[in-house]
Structure 1
Amino acid sequence: MVCRSVLLRSVAAAVLVASVSACSLWGGRAAKPVAAELGPNVAVLGVRQAWTARVGKIELPLELHVNGNVVTLASSDGVVAALDAKTGSDVWRAMLGEPLSTGPGSDGKTAAVVTRANALVALESGREKWRQQLPAQVFTPPLVAGGRVFVLSSDRSVAAYDGATGRRLWTQQRPGEPLVLRQAGVLLALGDTLVVGLSGRMVGMNPNTGVTQWELPLASPRGTNDVERLVELVGRVSRVGDSVCARAFQASVGCVNTARGAVAWTQVASGSEGIHGDDRAVFGTEGNGVVTAWSRVDGSRLWSMDRYKHRKLTAPLLLGRSIVFGDDSGTVHLVSRDDGAPLNRISTDGSGIAAAPAVASDTLVVVSRNGSVYGFRPD
C-alpha cells in the first residue's frame, strides 16, 4: 500500500510523480516529530520590515526571480506579479485566471509560467505574448535566457522555445527512472551552456540544439523498488564561475567543475531542498532541520547545527555574514555563516515560508504560503 500523498499518477505525462511527505510503513502518515524549542530571540543583527505586498496562496514550486530591483513571483491561482524591491509596489501584475503548476522564470523582460493544463505562457509587462501546449506536466519554473524559453518537463524532456513567437526550436528527451519529484529541478544558463538536472546527473547542453556536451553524476539510483531508486537534482543551486553545486534529493550534495567536465566532490546528505553558497562554502538545510556547511573546495564539513531540528526549512540564502532560511511556522531565521549561531529571527503571517528567500536592491524578500510578500532591510 502506498501513501497517496507520496505517489500520484500523472495521466498526461504517463509517469509517477513523487512529492515530499512522511508516510509510515503501514501506508498512513507518520507522526510529526516535535520541533526543538527556539528560546528567546536575541537580535544580534538588526532587521526591520520595509514593506509588504500580496499575491494569492502559493502551493506550487516557486523561486523568487530577481532582475535588478525587480522580483517576479506567482500564486497557485494564476496571479503573476513583478514587484519593485525598493517599495513593494507592482511594476506589473497579470491575472491569468487559471491555476499554475510552476512559478515564473524571467529575464527581466519576459516572464514564463506553466499552467496545470500544461500550457507554457509567456508574458511581457503583464500581458500575454504567446502560449504553447506542452506534452507533459512541468514542476520546474521555465528558464528565460538568450531570447529563448527553456522547459524541463516531468517526462524528462527538455525543450527550447523562441521567446518572441513561442515557436518550438528543439526538444530532447532522456530515459530515466519512472518517478520524478513534484518540485523544482535544476535548469540554469551557464555562459553558452544550458545546465539541466536529469535524474541524479548534471547535464550540459548546447542551448541552440539541445545536444549534450557533458554529463556528470552527483548521485546514482539505488534500491529494489521505484521509490527507493528515486534520485533527482533539486533547485536552488550555487554557482561561482565554472563551479556549480547542487543537491541530489535525499542522497548527496556535490559540486562540479563545468570547465573541466569533472565532479569536484560529493558528500552524503539527506535533504530535499536546494543549497546556496559562495567561493568559500556551501550551505544546506537537511530534511530533519539540521543546517550544514561544507567547504566548496573539497566538500569537507565545516560545521553542522541542530537548533532548528524537526522544523521544515526552506533552502538557504547566503547574505553577507548571514545564512537566511524560513520554516513551516512562517519564521525567517538569520544565522552566522561562520558557525550557525543565531543572529535574529523574524515572524511573518504564520502560514509557512513558501520559497527560499531572495535579495534585491539591498532588500531581503520573503513570501509566505498565504501569499504575503515581505521586504526586510538591515537597521
Structure 2
Amino acid sequence: MRYTIFWPLLLLLAGCSAFSGKDNADPPSELVEFEPELRIETLWDKGFDDSDDTLLKLKPVYSNGMLYIAEPSGEVSSLDPETGERHWSVDTDSPLSGGPGVADGLIAVGTLEAELILLDGEDGGERWRQRVSSDVLSSPAVNDGNVVCRTTDGGVTAYTTDSGEKRWVYDRTVPVLTLRGDSSPLVSDSQVLAGFAGGKFVGLSLDSGLVNWEATISTPKGRTELERVVDIDADPVLVEGTLYVSAYQGDVAAVSESSGVVLWRRDISSHAGLDASWRQVFITDAEDHIWSLDATNGATLWQQKKLHARKLSAPAMVGDTLVVGDFDGYVHWLSQEDGRQLARIRVGGDAIRLKPLVIDEIVYVLDEGGTLSALRAHPIEAERR
C-alpha cells in the first residue's frame, strides 16, 4: 500500500520533534524595511479560478507570443502578454491538475480524472483526449510529434500528437510514503528527462522509452519512513547540457544530460525548486533560505536568510535580479550578485507557490487566489536622473 503526504501537512510535520528535532515550527520572518533600489510597476492583473488544492501545477506558460493558462475548473485560455486580454478560452469539462505544456502550436493538459488532453494552440479546439494510468500533477511535455506525460503512479508515457496513440510507457515503483506531486518531464535531444520519488533521475529514449541512464540524486536517510522521504518534485532546469535537480530531504545536484554522471551535489533540501544559468544556481531550500551556488562546482556564493519560513516559491531570474513569491502574496526582488533585497510588492493576500514566469524582463505571478499579475521593475536611480 502507498501513502501520500500532502504538502501543507508536511510543513506542519516538519516542525515536530519526531521529524526534525524542533519543538515547534518556526514562525515566518517579519518583513524589514530597506531602501528600495527598484520601483515595481503592475502592468495588469486578471482573475482566474482559485483552487483548494495548493499542489496543482497549473502554471502559466509562454509560446509564440501568447500566454497560456489552465484553470482547475477546466478552462484553458490564450492571453495577450502585454494586456492580459483573452484571445480565446475553452472549457475542457474536466478538473485540470497539470500543465499546460505548450510547443509546436499544441497545448497539453492533465486532469485529476486520469486524462491527457491535447488542444490546438490557434483556437483551443480539442485534438484528442486519452485515458492515462493515474492523475497528472505535472506539466506534460510536447516535442517533435510526441506528448510525454508523467503520472502520479510513477509512469512516464509518450503519445503521438497526431492521433494520441500510445508509443511507449516507462513504469517505476513508487515508495510506500511520498509527497503528493511530481516534477515535470523535459524533452531534449531525443531524450526524456524525468525525476522520481526516491531520489532517482532518468534519461529515456524518446523513440522507445528505454533507459539511457539513471542517476542517484539523493539517497533516503533516517530511521522512520517519514524521515526517509526523498522526492524530486520540483521541475529540473536544463542549461547547456547540464541538468540542475533538487530533492526534498535530499540534495541539489548537477547532472550531465548526455551521460547521467553527477557532476556535483550539495546537501540542500528543496521542495520549491530552483533556477540556473551557466554561472549560478539559485535555489529555495526547505527553510525558505535562498542560496546562490557556483554552477560549475556547487560552491556557495551567498545565502539570503531574511525571508526565513515565508513559504517561498522557487526563484526566477530576471535580468541581473531574482524574484520569489511568498505565503502572504508578496513578490520579492533580490540581487543575483549578493542576495540583498532590492524591492517588494504585494499583489494580493494569497500565497504564491508557483515559480514566477519571466518573459522579456516582465514577471508573471499567479497566486492561489487565481490572480495573474504582470510586473515590471524599474531602477530608481535611473528614474531620478
- Number of the residue aligned with 2:194: 196
Give the secondary structure class of the aligned counterpart of 2:233: strand
* Alignment partner of 1:372 is 2:379: no
For residues 226 and 136 of structure 1, do their structure 2 counterparts lie closer, same or farther at Cα, with a shift above 3 Å needed?
A: farther
Amino acid at match of 1:95: D
Task: Specify which structure has the higher proportion of helix.
Answer: 2
For residues 34 and 221 of structure 1, do their structure 2 counterparts lie closer, same or farther at Cα, with a shift above 3 Å needed?
A: closer
Amino acid at match of 1:36: S
- CA drift of 1:26 comes to 8.3
For residues 367 and 152 of structure 1, do their structure 2 counterparts lie closer, same or farther at Cα, with a shift above 3 Å needed?
A: same
Amino acid at match of 1:298: N
* Alignment partner of 1:40 is 2:39: no
* Alignment partner of 1:18 is 2:5: yes
Asked if the contact 1:100–1:114 (Cα under 8 Å) also holds between the matched residues in 2, the reply is: yes
| TM-score, length-scaled by structure 2 | 0.89
- CA drift of 1:277 comes to 1.4
- Number of the residue aligned with 1:6: none
* Alignment partner of 1:96 is 2:92: yes
Can you give the 5+ residue segments of structure 1 that lack an aligned partner in the other structure?
Answer: 1-13
325-334 vs 38-47, which moves further? 38-47
274-283 vs 359-368, which moves further? 359-368
Aligned counterpart in structure 2 of residue 182 of structure 1, from 165, 180, 196: 180
Alpha-carbon distance in structure 2 between the residues aligned to 1:98 and 1:294: 41
- CA drift of 1:192 comes to 1.7
Give the secondary structure class of the aligned counterpart of 1:111: strand
Asked if the contact 2:2–2:175 (Cα under 8 Å) also holds between the matched residues in 1, the reply is: no
- Number of the residue aligned with 1:135: 133
Amino acid at match of 2:192: L
- CA drift of 1:308 comes to 0.2
* Alignment partner of 1:76 is 2:76: no
- Number of the residue aligned with 1:151: 149
For residues 94 and 293 of structure 1, do their structure 2 counterparts lie closer, same or farther at Cα, with a shift above 3 Å needed?
A: same
- Number of the residue aligned with 2:265: 266
Asked if the contact 1:236–1:315 (Cα under 8 Å) also holds between the matched residues in 2, the reply is: no
- CA drift of 1:63 comes to 3.3
Give the secondary structure class of the aligned counterpart of 2:38: coil
Alpha-carbon distance in structure 2 between the residues aligned to 1:180 and 1:132: 26
Amino acid at match of 1:45: L
- CA drift of 1:18 comes to 2.3
1:287-317 Cα shifts (integer Å, max 9, x gaps): 2221111111101111111110110000110
- How do 1:184-263 and structure 2 match up within 5 A? 184-199=182-197, 200-263=199-262
For residues 68 and 184 of structure 1, do their structure 2 counterparts lie closer, same or farther at Cα, with a shift above 3 Å needed?
A: farther
Amino acid at match of 2:314: A
Aligned counterpart in structure 1 of residue 60 of structure 2, from 64, 72, 86: 64
Q: CA RMSD in A?
A: 2.0
**Number of corresponding residues:** 364
For residues 223 and 33 of structure 1, do their structure 2 counterparts lie closer, same or farther at Cα, with a shift above 3 Å needed?
A: closer
> Identity of paired residues, percent?
27
Asked if the contact 2:152–2:182 (Cα under 8 Å) also holds between the matched residues in 1, the reply is: no
Asked if the contact 1:154–1:180 (Cα under 8 Å) also holds between the matched residues in 2, the reply is: no
Alpha-carbon distance in structure 2 between the residues aligned to 1:376 and 1:272: 25
Asked if the contact 2:196–2:233 (Cα under 8 Å) also holds between the matched residues in 1, the reply is: no
- Number of the residue aligned with 2:167: 169
Amino acid at match of 1:147: G
Alpha-carbon distance in structure 2 between the residues aligned to 1:250 and 1:45: 35
Amino acid at match of 2:229: L
Alpha-carbon distance in structure 2 between the residues aligned to 1:40 and 1:226: 42
Give the secondary structure class of the aligned counterpart of 2:372: strand
Alpha-carbon distance in structure 1 between the residues aligned to 2:377 and 2:64: 19
1:92-140 Cα shifts (integer Å, max 9, x gaps): 2222233222232111521111221111111112222211111222211
Alpha-carbon distance in structure 2 between the residues aligned to 1:248 and 1:32: 21
Amino acid at match of 2:76: V
Amino acid at match of 2:6: S
Alpha-carbon distance in structure 2 between the residues aligned to 1:25 and 1:334: 34
Asked if the contact 1:69–1:86 (Cα under 8 Å) also holds between the matched residues in 2, the reply is: no
- Number of the residue aligned with 2:119: 123
| TM-score, length-scaled by structure 1 | 0.90
